[in-house]
Structure formats: structure tokens, C-alpha cells
A = this chain, B = another copy of it.
Amino acid sequence: MIAVLKNPSTLSAFLYPKTIAVIGASSAPRKAGGRRWLSIIGQGFTGTIVPVNSRATELGEFKTVKSVQDIKGGADLAVVMVPTPAVLDVVRDCIEGGVRGIVMVSAGFGETGEEGQRAEAEMVAMCRAAGTRLLGPNSAGVFSAAGNVNTVGWKIPSGRIAVVTQSGNMAGTFTHYARAKSAGFSSLIAVGNSADIKLSELVEMLLEDQQTNAILVYCEGFAPGDGRALVNVMRSANRCLPVILLKPGVSEAGKQAAKSHTGSLAGEDAVVSAALAEAGILRASEAEEAFDLAVALSACPPMRGNRIVVLSDGGGHATIVSDCAGHNGLTLAELSGDTKKQLSEILPDRSGIENPVDFAGLAESNPDCTAKVLNICLRDENVDGVIFAGHFGGYHLMTDDPATQESIAKFESDAASEIARSAAELKKPVILHSDHGEKPLHTLDPIRKANIPLYSGLEAGAKAMAALRRWNAIEQSRGKSSDKPATYAVSERAIGLSTHVLTEVDARKRLSAFSVDVPEFQVVQSASEAIAAFRSFGRPVAMKLMSTKLVHKSDSGGVLLNLGSESQIESSWASLEKLSRTLGDGETQILITPMIASGIECIIGAKYDAQFGPLVLFGAGGVLVELTKDSAISLAPITTERAHEAIEKSMAGKLLRGFRGSAPIPTEPLAKLLVAVSNFIANQPDVIEVDLNPVIVNAAGAHIADARLVVT
């Protein structure tokens, strides 16, 4: 069963509670419970904090109560850190006491095995019956800057990034990054086991949170269907924010034996990437990168094009930054003549006045030139954003002479203020790299105060700028297309249960019953029926033995092609019947169908994915499918527009457009078939996998030459 957010305001109890009941707090600072208690009372919470304890009467300066039900006026949020065996009673007490949200720090449930799973399910059932929402169990806690809530156990800097994390220690790592990079969080929510509240619900809530400018998610795997729920949230949100998701790929994925091409192509990680791209979520590949992107996306104005200027203190930095930017889809802006003229009045001849703009040593002794040059570049209409890489903020450290240090530092501070002013005035993204970026230098304070991203990693600025551009493109395209995909309401399928493969005849029947175009065919049970069918088709045919005992029909001689005479039909019948008897089929069933004229071989697949629901896959077929794994995965159902996109970007699309002088083949019938298959998988709850391979596309249309369905 999938949680549905009936009343979003319930979740607000987690970020903006009025009274917090703390159950199981410890006064020992060495213990996690003690650290959490200290962070709760140290965050400046303006409501009431009530420790609940059946034995002690006070905790520090706080009077305890014996039960949540004893709290006058009740508590909307409860933080539970009691030993596992005591948890269910405490949950009951919370429900009786009218608590709306429970942060369950206690662990020992779903993550420990069957018994724990049962207890977890009971706990969730109790909460749902009462309308109480549960975060966790095994949650590392909640931080809310505006709500002055901190149950995490350590100090957390405030800012504009919201974090949702499945891992407590990644909450710690993100906090370290925030401190080192002078960034901060509007909220930080550790979902633990996600037994009740799911990732998608938290993102939905945070998209509405006015304190939040960007959402950073650490996710190792979605609860069943919750990946799709997240896609739906992103697609339907009124206010859409940049969401950056860090999800480790699964490098052992290869282990899973691929049941079919579709199965092996749509490996989990490729599905995640495709689904997130469709949702307009930015996926980061490393932890620090994820954080760095969130910093830029939470702070910068829109990046309206992909033309950047790179300013630098020298060639190496400029080359690395430009190259990384180029690999991520940005280009170096062509500076206008006017810009070049202005720059030439400031910069020495040796700098060359080109993009990248090289200060060539000038900035080290005259830091004021940096702000001037940046302003000139930012004003250029050909420029969408500026990355400045080098030692800014630390020029004064290049000398040991105190007087010189002081005077250069003053110039640097002033330049930093000017840079901040230019960025604010001209509303284009400015990103700084400095080797000194993570040092607490006062020269960099104006940059930090202005929330200009400041990185010490050389490539970080280029990646962040590219992410700004991608996000702007996502925002621009949101809702632009009139051809919107039908929303797929998330529901769970029993994919864990035993599945079986339909015979091709049954597969063809199922497909055509759901208006998927299947080439004409007949099922025959004798040589004479076969000959009659051949006569009725009036052209060469293929004959295929239908046997549930044959995994690969063609490898075992179960498929005979290009049969053009009655004698061939007769002898083919005989050989297939012999094979059927060898296999031990009860009754020989043969599918007979006209040969399809040659064309481009494609594959259309579909599967039901536990995290993202129904998917459809398109790629080049034949030899290419095994050699190249060329494929485009889309969430099903898809629109005609998306179907054409998928065809377009695949190798098959290249072949269909007319490769090496051959005539182009119309792709409309293929797109129509792809849409039909996507509707099929989305609407047939017992279908787990569809494998149409090959689909032969020629001037006459797109023809399914082989069909395979896996159903529960």
C-alpha cells in the first residue's frame, strides 16, 4: 500500500510544531539521546518542550511528565528515542495524546528482519488509523531552521537548502560541507526506514516551503512505487524547486540474471536516471558534487543561456574550468567588440583579451581589476554567466610582509563587495572558485554574505553553472508541451510473486485485445490447417512452435522462416511436431503468420519497475541490441511526442532517418505502436514484462515479429 498525502498540513507538524514531547531523552552527553536532547533545547525553540519520563521527575531544568497524555494542551510533535521493546506502547501513548507527528529515532524494526517488519507494520497501521504521521523508525531526526527544531544531535547551520536523507551519517557529511562552505539548511529530514512517510511526500511538502530554495535528496532506493510518486509530485507541483538527488548506482547490478533483453537493458540504474530526467530532477554522481549543485541552485539567478565567461589567474585553472564546462554543455561566450575594448583598458597586453580572460598576474597585486573585469563581462549581452577561478580572497597571502598583506587584503575586500553588487544588479549567475574558498578569510565575507557560490574544487564551479543552465531549461519547458502524459496513479503490483511467460499466441491475443497492432496470424494444429492458413495468406509465411517449454524458440529450431510452398509447409509441420513431441507438449500448437518484408529491426520493451512503475523501452534491434545496448527508457504511459523523441535519439532512429543514402522510413506507425505498448503496460496490472523483439519497421509500417509477455 502506498501512502497518500491526504492532508499536507499534517506534515507541517514536523517543521513547525508548537509543542515537542521528547520521549527517552538522556542527560548523558556521551550518548546519542543526550546529544539529541541538547540540540533540541539548544535550538531556541519558541514553543514548549516537554520531556516524557516515567521515572525521573526532571531533565536538567525541564520538568518531566509521565505520559504524553499528561501534557497540557497536548503536543503536536513527539521525538521518540526509547529502547525498541518500549516503542509500541509509546506510539500508543502518542496517539492517545493527540500527537500529529512522531519522529521515531528508535531503531530495531524493518531493518532487522521479519519480526521487526511485523512490529513496524503494526506501528504504521496504528498511526494511519489515527491520522498520526510517523517519520522513521531509525530516523536520525529533523532540523527546521524557521521552526527552531533540531532533534538531530548536532549544530546545523541555517540556510535555504532543504535536505531529505535516507542516511543519518550523510546528514552529518552534508552538515560538514555546509560548515566548510558557509552554506546552510532550511530543514533536514532523515527518513530512516520510510515505514510511513515517504520521500515523495517530504519533497511535496518542501516544494511548498517558503524557506526552501532547493531540495537535496540522498536516496539509496525508493519504497515500492515511491519513485513514481516523486515523479508525479514534480510534474504536478504548483511551485517547482530544483531537486538534486544523490543515489549511489548499483555496481553489482550485473548479477541479476537478465530474463530478456528488456530486463537487462532496463537495469535499475538506467531506470532511475531516465525517470529522474523525466521528472526534471538533477542527479548528482558524487556526494560533494550534490551539495555544491544545491548551493548554486539555492542561491543563483536563472542561467538563461549556455554562454559563459571564464575569468582566471592563469592558464591551468582556465583550461580545466572551460573544459569541464564544455563537457557539461556550456560554451565560451564570444565577447562583444565593446567588451573587448573596455577590457583592453584594464588588462595588460600579455593577457590577450580573449575568453577565458586571464588576469596574467595583474590581480595578485591589483585585486580591484577583478571586479571591474567581471562587471564588464557580465554586462555583455552575449554572456549568460561568469565563473571566476583562481586565488581570489588569498592574493594577500602570497606575501609574508604584513603591510603589503593588509593593503592587498583591503583591495580584495572591496573587490569582493563590488563583485557581489554586480551580480545582484545584473541578475546573472556568478560563481567563484578559489584555492582559498574553504578558508575563513574575511576578504571573502562579502562573497559569502551575497550567497555567491564559492568553491575550492576547480571543476565544481563549471558543474554548478551547467546545473543552473539545465535547471533553467527544465523550468522553461515545464508545462510548455500541450501533449502531457497521462498521470499514472501509483499502485503496487505483486511482482514478487511467481511469474510465467505466455506463449506467443497468448501474448499476441493479449496485446491485440488492448488495441496494440499485431500482424495477422493463425494457430494451427495439423498440417492441413497449416496449408489452409498458408493459402489464405497467399504469400510466404513463418511457422513457430508454441510451447511453454521453449525459452528461445529460434535457437531450438522452433521457428521456420520464409516458407513459400505447400510442400515446405508440410515438411515444416512435420519437423515442428517432432520437436513438440520431444519437448513433451500435450498437443502441438503452431503459429503461422505471413513473412514481414525486410526493414530496420527495433526492439520495444516494457516492464513494471518496483520503484517507478510501468516503463517502456525503445532501441535498435537485431545485432545492435546485443552489441550496443542502445535504448531509451520512458515512464509509461508516454505521449506521442516522447515516443518520437525516444526513436529520434536511438541508433534505430538514425537508421530510420535514411542511413547511407537509403530512403527514410516514416516513424509514425512505430511511435503509435510505442504509445500503445506503453498504455498496455500501464493498464494491465498482471503484466510484468513485454518484449517485442524484433519489431520490423519498413515503408508499410511497424510490425511485431515476435512477442513475449511475462505475467503474474
Contacts and interface: CB of A to CB of B under 8 A. Distances in A.
A689 to B, nearest CB: 21
Contacts of A301: none
Interface in A98-146: 107-108, 112
Contacts of A31: 365
A668 to B, nearest CB: 23
Contacts of A319: 167, 220, 248
Copy tally for this chain in the complex stands at 2
A316 B435 contact: no
A452 to B, nearest CB: 20
Interface string A551-588: 00001000000000000000000000000000000000
A82 interface: no
Contacts of A398: 35, 153-154
A353 to B, nearest CB: 13
Contacts of A623: 655, 659-660
Contacts of A166: 315-316
A459 B165 CA distance: 18
Contacts of A316: 165-170, 173, 218, 220
A323 interface: yes
A342 interface: no
A248 B399 contact: no
Interface stretch (A51-59, A249-257, A591-599): A249-257
Contacts of A325: 251
Contacts of A400: 29, 38
Contacts of A220: 315-316, 319
A659 B327 CA distance: 35
A277 interface: no
A268 interface: no
B627 A391 contact: no
A495 interface: no
Given A250-B323, A458-B286, A623-B655, A365 B173 contact: no
A314 interface: yes
A500 interface: no
A6 interface: no
A660 B176 CA distance: 53
A458 B288 contact: yes
A205 B220 CA distance: 48
A328 to B, nearest CB: 9
A435 B173 contact: yes
Contacts of A401: 29-30
Interface in A252-307: 252, 286-288
A216 interface: no
Interface string A619-638: 01001101110100000000
B326 A251 contact: yes
Nearest to A30: B404
A513 interface: no
A651 interface: yes
Interface in A370-423: 390-391, 398-401, 404, 408
A398 B28 CA distance: 12
Contacts of A314: 167-169
A52 B87 CA distance: 81
Interface in A193-233: 218, 220
Interface in A448-502: 456-459
Contact of A32 (B32, B107, B361): B361
A172 interface: yes
Contacts of A167: 314-317, 319
A401 B35 CA distance: 10
Contacts of A250: 323
A38 to B, nearest CB: 7
A2 interface: no
Nearest to A622: B660
A73 interface: no
B252 A326 contact: yes
A239 interface: no
Nearest to A433: B173
A368 interface: no
A350 interface: yes
A167 B326 CA distance: 20
Nearest to A458: B287
A456 B35 CA distance: 24
A314 B627 CA distance: 39
B459 A286 contact: yes
Nearest to A404: B30
Nearest to A659: B623
A319 B287 CA distance: 11
Contacts of A248: 319-320, 323-324
Nearest to A31: B365
Contact of A317 (B35, B170, B660): B170
A400 B42 CA distance: 12
Nearest to A652: B627
A661 interface: yes
A108 B349 CA distance: 10
Nearest to A108: B350
Interface in A608-667: 620, 623-624, 626-628, 630, 651, 654-655, 659-661
A577 to B, nearest CB: 23
A165 B319 CA distance: 13
Nearest to A168: B314
Contacts of A659: 623, 626
A107 B350 contact: yes
Given A313-B169, A365-B30, A320 B153 contact: no
B172 A457 contact: no
A624 B112 CA distance: 50
A391 B320 CA distance: 31
15 contacts: A30-B399, A35-B399, A154-B398, A167-B315, A169-B315, A218-B316, A220-B316, A248-B323, A249-B327, A250-B323, A251-B323, A620-B627, A626-B660, A627-B651, A627-B654
Given A108-B350, A626-B660, A627-B651, 20 more contacts: A29-B399, A30-B404, A30-B408, A32-B361, A38-B400, A153-B398, A165-B316, A169-B316, A169-B390, A170-B316, A220-B319, A248-B323, A249-B327, A251-B322, A251-B325, A252-B326, A286-B458, A555-B661, A626-B659, A627-B630
Interface of A: 29-32, 34-35, 38, 107-108, 112, 153-154, 165-170, 172-173, 176, 218, 220, 248-252, 286-288, 312-317, 319-320, 322-327, 350, 361, 364-365, 390-391, 398-401, 404, 408, 435-436, 456-459, 555, 620, 623-624, 626-628, 630, 651, 654-655, 659-661
